[in-house]
Structure 1
Amino acid sequence: MAQDTTVPKLNFEYWLDKAIEWGQTTTLESQKDVCLHLPQLQEFLHQLYETIKHLDPTAAIQQFPLIGQLLGRLCWNPFVIGYDESQKTLMWCLCCLYSSEPQNAVELKANSWIRSLLCHLLSSSKWESNEAETSTFISALGYTSADYYCHLVKNMVVSLVTELRENQFNGLNIQESISARRVNAISIFCVPLITLPDLTPLLETLLLYHGGSSKEVLSSEFLEAVNEAFLKNALMETDGTSEVMTIIKVFTQLFLLAYQNENKQPKFPLKAYFPYHHQPLVRSLVRRPFELSTTYWSQHVKHISDMLKALVEDTNVSSLTDLFEIWFLVACFGEWLDIATEQLLKAAVEPDPVLWLLAFYYCPKNENQQRTQTMVEAQAVYNHLMMLFSCTDLSLKDLEAAVHRVTGIEQCCNQRLTTHLLTSFLLFSSGGHKIAQECIYHITEITDTSKDVYNLLIHTAYRLNHSGEENQRTVKLINELLQKLKLKV
């Protein structure tokens, strides 16, 4: 049975009642009660964070309408934020509610409120003076708290960036002005604030930092947080843009090539690079096509599809994170997706497993049976193309039904899958070669698929360039198509 990972409503209300009860009082009884409940509160906050980090800010607030009131009260409780772990988790939760692209006045106001709370937490930490010590000074200057905290964060970021850069360009290197321990501490400090726009200059400086030490000075937690945030700026916000996916696919191929060529040097096993994934699936995906005879490709593709389907339909895959990690693994090894499509059109493999594999890649979430509908669309296009695959004399009119499915489809995932099938047909059928330029020009003129086709051609060319002389005719065609499409992307 899949485990319920949501935060129980009763538990949420309990902690809200507690936060209201504690208020901002500093009585001995209140302090004792906070200290008594800190371990359970930290566990609750961590559970809350694990839930809302997978949601966009609007969805998080819809699921927990009183989350702002709870976090706000806890952030202003000196005994709660005096505990480093609680302070850090509160920062994480607040960052999850921050809208990177606010769409209305409500979201703008919410962002301003969140920034003020984050700045308050920073000013209350060991990095700056305690709030109690600065409040009188702020009032004397005539600033509001929000104004002061925003200036405080900007000044702190500028100060740390200057400190890192001055050390970086200390050419004489007679005496380091900043220790590796200090840089490591700064990187740890940034972890809960990775997605806060004001910290961008500091993050960039840290990632470009090269100290005198031969070892990595940045904390592993910082590097993991940056990586996770990047995958979300690169994949989720761009909705799986084809350029990003092409970079990921080609990078993975180059990584495997370098990994396999370093035979004389000690190296980690491959599972160290993919530790959270289903290892039998990893082992199947990392097999390079040239390692297998082409007669075994269809069998290998079916094996991958069957294994993947069993994983995805397993009831233990309970969260979007699990599903995303499985999908991302398949996306990294997109070479097998292209081979699967090629084998499908050459009638060298059972169609159902390959169609399911492609439907999963283009539609990983099966909300409202969307993946099932994607398979139906793909099946119809496949049946039409298979009737034409052996024809040596084709016209654009012969492909009219398939082209219409590309130009007339509203759902993005269905359009991308259909475009993939049709482009592969034009590349790998003899009749398709003759009308490839005309057909692709027609499709890209009336739809927004130029980038998808262009990037599909790029990583197909990369694969074929490393697979021998028999594909040179197709590679030549791809290069001609790429030259034509350059002006459109």
Structure 2
Amino acid sequence: MAQNSPGFASDCQFWLQKLSVWEQASTLETQQDTCLHLSQFQEFLRQLYEALKEMDSDTIMERFPTIGQLLAKICCNPFMLAYDESQKFLMWCLCCLIKKEPQNSGESERNFWVRGLLCRILSAFRFEVKEVDLFTQALGYEPVDYCPGLLKNMVLSLVSELRENHLNGFNTQSRMAPERVASLSRICIPLVTLPDFKPVVEALLTYHGHEPQEVLWPEFFEAVNEACLLKKIILPISSVISLWLRHLPSLEKATLHLFEKLISSDRNGLRKMEHSIRDSLLPQAACHPAIFRTVDEMFRCALLETDGAPEVLAALQVFTWCFVEALEKGNKQPKFTLKTYFPYASPSLTTVLSQYPKAIPQGHRLQPLLYLAKLLREALEDQIHGSREGPFESWFLLAHFGGWADLAAEQLLSSEAELPAALLWILAFYYSPQDGSQQREQTMVELKGILSHLLLLLRRGPLSAWELQAVASERPRTDPRPPAYDQLVRRLLLTFLFWAPEGHMIAKETITHVSFPLFQIQIGCQPCFWNTELPPRLHAPCSAMARTDEITREIIGFLDQTLYRWDRLCIEGPGSRQLATELLQELRAQV
């Protein structure tokens, strides 16, 4: 038919006249005549598409100058659209008229006009004409039932062709042409949020041809991604993964959208944070290594740019926890090893870190921690001598599974014999990864003194908040310590208050009493003492110490993370849990 243009042009003229007659009269005879010609018209429409797809849009307009008028009239005839595959062939014919790269205003206007017709076909089907009433009533349907069925049939046809199924009894062995897929993706841009059109969106996202380059329009990916982020469309995880794998900017935007959501919400609410992270679908999608590596790299940049902000660190740890759960749930027979997700880390170290010892009783956690410290030190030595990243890679890996540092602190506070140096090393490295070996050894000595003092307080008898303040005020060196060291000391003291039953008695007074500013920044005070012998009862702390909102938020973060970790590990601790919950509510009311 494509070779017989004159005869085909006459066919176009015949149907143009028929359509003009049908639209001018709304009688039973006209409807009957239309129905009699439907089968013949569908064959014409199919041949029309076969002819047009071999030409570019300029050639089409030159050979068939009335083609636009013909297709416009078809779009206005509900009987033509209602018949079997007519909607699909009409849509493809309209796609052939689109100029891929319009060179002038006329071609741009034509593209706009064609897209308007396509949108009408795909999204509306609200025909306010009497023919629909008569036709559907004769079939026993109401228009409200029948018209949406037109869209449904068209969507099924498109999905079927995209998936290379059999259409209308014809065996379609050839694949859909890449340019047709590209045109469809462009046409779909304003329609991605339509619920009835969702199957086409999914079929496009999962469509895979043999082309070396992506055929779908970037704007299509952007529109679908935006609709997903705003919850205007809910796609299965397989489609979301395909979207993010095929269009990296969409994955980056989804990750940034999550970051913004976490920052704008209650930054210390880890349960809310977990809900937002799961709702983003990023942990589930990250089971694909390429997606995980991209999201992980963005977390890395966020930590570096914020100098390890607690909020970013907490988000990374919650994300990792959700990711590991999704990986375990989805990979009953693992498709990828952990080495695939953490290619620069020691496989044995990654395995140990990912297997958080939640099933190991409290009294049997020392050996896993000692083994972890050994692997970390070996990895750190390798990186110092052979990696341009230095210690950051090992710290970044440990930061994903930060609960190990909390376990190390708890284990140290439960030691009845010599304090394990390996656990001191884990804490010193986790809170100050940038320190050299000599500075880290000095930090370990200082931590050992503080821990020995705390354990001595426990053995001595009833605790006093003033005595605990003395531990917080100790400074063995005259030069100032970095903020990370003060944070580590505060974490040890807070852990002590909730780990030791004796600490429960003074926890509330120690943390919230306005006249006793424990955990505050000290300004210009001299060291109180540094030995393991208990001093006499101390006087009131230095008046230069002042409570800051920053440290209050730090304590809130500790309480929230502790409760979150207890829930994760199914730790009961009813007394500690109730105390931490009450303190968390009280402190949140202050900021």
TM-score bracket, normalised by the shorter chain, equals 0.5 to 0.7
**Deviation readout 1:119-160 (Å, 9 max, x if unpaired):** xxxxxxxx9x9xxxxxxxxxxxxxxxxxxxxxxxxxxxxxxx
Which residue does the alignment assign to 2:192? Answer: 168
1:438-449 equivalences under 5 Å are 438-441=509-512, 442=517, 443=519, 446-447=547-548, 448-449=550-551
Contiguous gaps of at least 5 residues in structure 1: 1-126, 130-161, 191-200
Q: Measure the CA separation in 2 of the matches of 1:347 and 1:175.
A: 62
Which residue does the alignment assign to 2:563? Answer: 461
1:356-367 equivalences under 5 Å are 356-366=425-435
- Cα 1:338–1:220 change in 2 (3 A) is farther
Which residue does the alignment assign to 1:417? Answer: 488
Q: Measure the CA separation in 1 of the matches of 2:327 and 2:585.
A: 33
Which residue does the alignment assign to 1:480? Answer: 582
Q: Measure the CA separation in 2 of the matches of 1:413 and 1:402.
A: 17
2:396 pairs with 1:328: yes
Query: 1:252 Cα deviation (Å)?
Result: 2.8
**Could you say which structure has the higher helix fraction?**
1
Cα pair 2:189 2:223 within 8 Å, conserved? no
Query: 1:268 Cα deviation (Å)?
Result: 3.7
Cα pair 1:277 1:326 within 8 Å, conserved? yes
2:458 pairs with 1:389: yes
Cα pair 2:496 2:503 within 8 Å, conserved? yes
Q: Measure the CA separation in 1 of the matches of 2:461 and 2:330.
A: 45
Q: Measure the CA separation in 1 of the matches of 2:581 and 2:469.
A: 25
- Cα 1:316–1:246 change in 2 (3 A) is closer
2:351 pairs with 1:283: yes
- Cα 1:279–1:342 change in 2 (3 A) is same
- Cα 1:487–1:266 change in 2 (3 A) is same
Cα pair 1:168 1:210 within 8 Å, conserved? no
For the aligned residue pairs, the C-alpha RMSD in angstroms reads 4.3
Cα pair 2:383 2:390 within 8 Å, conserved? no
Q: Measure the CA separation in 1 of the matches of 2:188 and 2:244.
A: 12
Q: Measure the CA separation in 1 of the matches of 2:459 and 2:244.
A: 58
Structure 2 residue corresponding to 1:306, chosen from 374, 378, 385:
374
**Deviation readout 1:189-220 (Å, 9 max, x if unpaired):** x9xxxxxxxxxx99974984988994613447
- Cα 1:488–1:370 change in 2 (3 A) is farther
Cα pair 1:390 1:429 within 8 Å, conserved? no
TM-score, normalised to structure 2's length? 0.46
Q: Measure the CA separation in 1 of the matches of 2:298 and 2:447.
A: 32
Letter in 2 for 1:464: W
Q: Measure the CA separation in 2 of the matches of 1:409 and 1:434.
A: 32
2:242 pairs with 1:216: yes
Cα pair 2:300 2:396 within 8 Å, conserved? no
2:500 pairs with 1:429: yes
Query: 1:321 Cα deviation (Å)?
Result: 3.3
Cα pair 2:413 2:455 within 8 Å, conserved? yes
1:87-486 equivalences under 5 Å are 166=190, 168-169=192-193, 173=197, 186=218, 205=226, 208=229, 214=239, 216-219=242-245, 222=248, 223=251, 227=295, 230-232=298-300, 234-261=302-329, 268-314=336-382, 317-319=385-387, 321=389, 323-347=391-415, 350-366=419-435, 369-405=438-474, 410-441=481-512, 442=517, 443=519, 446-447=547-548, 448-467=550-569, 471-486=573-588
**Deviation readout 1:58-86 (Å, 9 max, x if unpaired):** xxxxxxxxxxxxxxxxxxxxxxxxxxxxx
Q: Measure the CA separation in 2 of the matches of 1:409 and 1:163.
A: 64
Query: 1:430 Cα deviation (Å)?
Result: 2.4
Cα pair 2:399 2:430 within 8 Å, conserved? yes
Cα pair 1:164 1:205 within 8 Å, conserved? no
Number of residue-to-residue matches in the alignment: 321
Percent identity at matched positions? 32
Query: 1:388 Cα deviation (Å)?
Result: 1.3
Cα pair 2:299 2:316 within 8 Å, conserved? no
Cα pair 2:409 2:495 within 8 Å, conserved? yes
Cα pair 1:437 1:481 within 8 Å, conserved? yes
**Deviation readout 1:421-464 (Å, 9 max, x if unpaired):** 11111111122111112222323562432222222222222222
Query: 1:246 Cα deviation (Å)?
Result: 2.2
- Cα 1:314–1:277 change in 2 (3 A) is closer
Query: 1:172 Cα deviation (Å)?
Result: 5.8
Cα pair 1:342 1:428 within 8 Å, conserved? yes
Residue 446 of structure 1: SS of its match in structure 2? coil
TM-score, normalised to structure 1's length? 0.55
Q: Measure the CA separation in 2 of the matches of 1:264 and 1:306.
A: 30
Q: Measure the CA separation in 1 of the matches of 2:318 and 2:395.
A: 17
Letter in 2 for 1:237: E
Q: Measure the CA separation in 2 of the matches of 1:260 and 1:226.
A: 20
- Cα 1:250–1:453 change in 2 (3 A) is same
Query: 1:323 Cα deviation (Å)?
Result: 2.9
Letter in 1 for 2:465: L
**Deviation readout 1:203-253 (Å, 9 max, x if unpaired):** 974984988994613447935685356314531222222222223223333
Residue 244 of structure 1: SS of its match in structure 2? helix
Query: 1:379 Cα deviation (Å)?
Result: 2.7
Residue 358 of structure 2: SS of its match in structure 1? helix
- Cα 1:172–1:345 change in 2 (3 A) is closer
Cα pair 2:428 2:440 within 8 Å, conserved? yes
- Cα 1:230–1:315 change in 2 (3 A) is closer
Q: Measure the CA separation in 2 of the matches of 1:320 and 1:478.
A: 42
- Cα 1:233–1:274 change in 2 (3 A) is closer
Cα pair 2:192 2:223 within 8 Å, conserved? no
Q: Measure the CA separation in 2 of the matches of 1:378 and 1:163.
A: 65
- Cα 1:165–1:299 change in 2 (3 A) is same
| Structure of larger gyration radius | 2
Query: 1:266 Cα deviation (Å)?
Result: 6.2
Cα pair 1:337 1:358 within 8 Å, conserved? yes
Cα pair 1:317 1:323 within 8 Å, conserved? no
Query: 1:368 Cα deviation (Å)?
Result: 9.0
Q: Measure the CA separation in 2 of the matches of 1:277 and 1:244.
A: 21
Query: 1:320 Cα deviation (Å)?
Result: 5.3
Which residue does the alignment assign to 1:62? Answer: none
Query: 1:276 Cα deviation (Å)?
Result: 3.0
Query: 1:312 Cα deviation (Å)?
Result: 0.6
Q: Measure the CA separation in 1 of the matches of 2:326 and 2:391.
A: 28
